[in-house]
Amino acid sequence: MNSVALDNQRVLSGMRPTGRMHLGHLHGVLKNWMRLQHEYECFFCVVDWHALTTNYEHSREIEPAMWEMLVDWLAVGVDPGKAKLFIQSHILEHAELHLLLSMVTPLSWLERVPTYKEQQEQLKDRDLATYGFLGYPVLMSADILIYKAGWVPVGEDQVPHVELTREIARRFNHIFGREEDFESRAESAVKKLGKKHSKLYSQLRTRYQQHGDHEALKLARALLAESQNLTLGDRERLLGYLEGGGRSILTEPSPLLTEVARMPGLDGRKMSKSYGNTISLREDPAQVESKLRTMPTDPARVRRSDPGNPEKCPVWDFHKVYSDETTRDWAWKGCTSAGIGCLECKQPVIDAVLKELEPIRKRAIEIEASPEMVRSIIKQGCDAARDVARDTMDEVRQAMGLSYR
Ligand code: TRP
Ligand code: SF4
């Protein structure tokens, strides 16, 4: 039995509508998404409501920024035939789940989220003393839990939010997964697995519960994923029964941290629009060239004859992303021995960036010329996402006893 393949293979990620994408987005996020779209069932969401949590006064800027961003997602090769691309606010179920989760989320959990205080200190010009800003990690939890995603590709800074999502899911399952006669219902569900599988399930459950054997837990989950003729309720019972408690309605996700190349901005700080140090994916080639040519280098190299230290130069970080070993070797030696000048050193980087961006810019122009196509792609993504979200909400309402008509 291949337990890895049977594990939860659904990925969800969200991005705020920030307008045109730049090289930082491409190397930090989008290339990773493009790898994942081949290996997992991916849901990529424009989290437009999240933009409101820090910037509600500028709500009208969301729409144009969103279309610009989507054009770039498509232009780089995020594939709507593989991943579902959709807009958070088009799936109203996110708001419903957010509301229901907010009822069971302790205030102290939210006040403890690191970004809560950090952002209030950093973004002094914004009004972050709102209910919406405090609750923003609950909204993110709803985004993830409504798709029962197993994996959430995020940067380091977002990991605490995924952890919070796990805690909220666990708390929800604990409160609403309970049933009067859970044990006996679970036991009769075990029998429905068939002779061979029910024996295996019970053995694996014992191994996990008595010896904390996580491999056994994984195998048992895989066994359940394989079992065809279980009702949804029984499946949730058996998942929950593995770990004790009650039914498992919401799935605990894990952060998916991938090694990404550090893509610095032109000044060596993180590439970010607010620092004005970006190269956008649709930047005019002449502009790309002039930005890179004027980019600062190791300040020790005042004259051509002064040797430098690549570790102190943002161009070196570009070499790490764009150059092969031979070129990096050449740059390192030339820099430290003052054998090459900085403009010479930058040339292979300039060439590589131009080469990378050319097809993206061309595709973006084509895509921009057919806004109807973009809308239809998003509509399809939204329809597919909504189907999943609706199913989850049916289960959630039922578990809470809210499915009366
Ligand atoms: N909180 C994320 C950010 O600010 C965006 C986000 C919202 C997200 N919902 C998500 C990311 C769900 C991953 C999964 O960047
Ligand atoms: Fe930077 Fe290259 Fe100049 Fe060295 S030679 S300071 S690595 S640009």
- Is the C-beta atom of 144 inside 6 A of ligand 1? yes
Q: Are 91 and 382 in contact (CB under 8 A)?
A: yes
**What predicted TM-score, i.e. pTM, was given to this entire model?**
0.89
Cα 41 to ligand 2 centre (Å)? 42
pLDDT tens-digit series, residues 382-392: 999 999 999 99
Of residues 8, 11, 5, the one with CA closest to residue 144: 11
State yes or no: pLDDT of 262 exceeds 80. Answer: no
- Is the C-beta atom of 314 inside 6 A of ligand 2? no
Mutate to test the pocket of ligand 2, among 266, 293, 294, 297 (most ligand atoms within 8 A of CB): 297
Of residues 140, 117, 116, 97, the one with CA closest to residue 397: 97
Which atom of ligand 1 sits closest to the CA of residue 50? Answer: 7
Assign residue 377 the CATH number of its domain: 3.40.50.620
In a domain, 249, yes or no: no
Cα 302 to ligand 2 centre (Å)? 11
On the 0-12 / 13-18 / 19+ scale of CB atoms within 10 A, 340 is middle
Assign residue 292 the CATH number of its domain: 1.10.240.10
From atom 9 of ligand 1, which residue's Cα is the shortest distance away? 140
- Is the C-beta atom of 141 inside 6 A of ligand 1? no
Q: 68 vs 15, 74, 280, 367, CA distance in Å?
A: 13, 10, 12, 10
Task: Assess whether 186 and 231 both reside in one domain.
Answer: yes
Task: Assess whether 37 and 132 both reside in one domain.
Answer: yes
Task: Assess whether 140 and 172 both reside in one domain.
Answer: yes
Task: Assess whether 40 and 144 both reside in one domain.
Answer: yes
Rounded to an integer, what distance in angstroms lies between the CA atom of residue 88 and that of residue 38?
A: 23
Q: Residue 247's pLDDT is what?
A: 86
Task: Assess whether 327 and 390 both reside in one domain.
Answer: no
In a domain, 209, yes or no: yes
Reported as a pLDDT band with limits 50, 70 and 90, residue 7 is low
In a domain, 267, yes or no: no
pLDDT tens-digit series, residues 194-206: 999 999 999 999 9
- Is the C-beta atom of 310 inside 6 A of ligand 2? yes
- Is the C-beta atom of 83 inside 6 A of ligand 2? no
Task: Assess whether 338 and 361 both reside in one domain.
Answer: yes
| Residue 382: HSE in the Cβ half-sphere, 13 Å Cα cutoff | 16
Q: Are 249 and 173 in contact (CB under 8 A)?
A: yes
Task: Assess whether 205 and 148 both reside in one domain.
Answer: no
- Radius of gyration in angstroms for the set of CA atoms belonging to the chain, rounded to a whole number: 25
Q: 137 vs 114, 328, 335, CA distance in Å?
A: 11, 42, 46
Task: Assess whether 140 and 42 both reside in one domain.
Answer: yes
Q: Which ligand is nearest to the CA of 316?
A: 2
Task: Assess whether 237 and 155 both reside in one domain.
Answer: no
pLDDT tens-digit series, residues 57-112: 999 999 999 999 999 999 999 999 999 999 999 999 999 999 999 999 999 999 99
Which atom of ligand 1 sits closest to the CA of residue 12? Answer: 14
Q: Are 247 and 237 in contact (CB under 8 A)?
A: yes
Cα 261 to ligand 2 centre (Å)? 19
Task: Assess whether 160 and 209 both reside in one domain.
Answer: no
Q: Which ligand is nearest to the CA of 296?
A: 2
Task: Assess whether 395 and 298 both reside in one domain.
Answer: no
Q: Residue 228's pLDDT is what?
A: 82
Domain extent, residue 214, equals 182-243
| Residue 137: HSE in the Cβ half-sphere, 13 Å Cα cutoff | 26
Cα 398 to ligand 1 centre (Å)? 27
Cα 47 to ligand 1 centre (Å)? 7
Of residues 57, 49, 56, 48, the one with CA closest to residue 19: 48
Task: Assess whether 31 and 162 both reside in one domain.
Answer: yes
Work out how many domains the chain is built from and give that number.
Answer: 3
In a domain, 34, yes or no: yes
State yes or no: pLDDT of 4 exceeds 50. Answer: no
Q: Are 11 and 256 in contact (CB under 8 A)?
A: yes
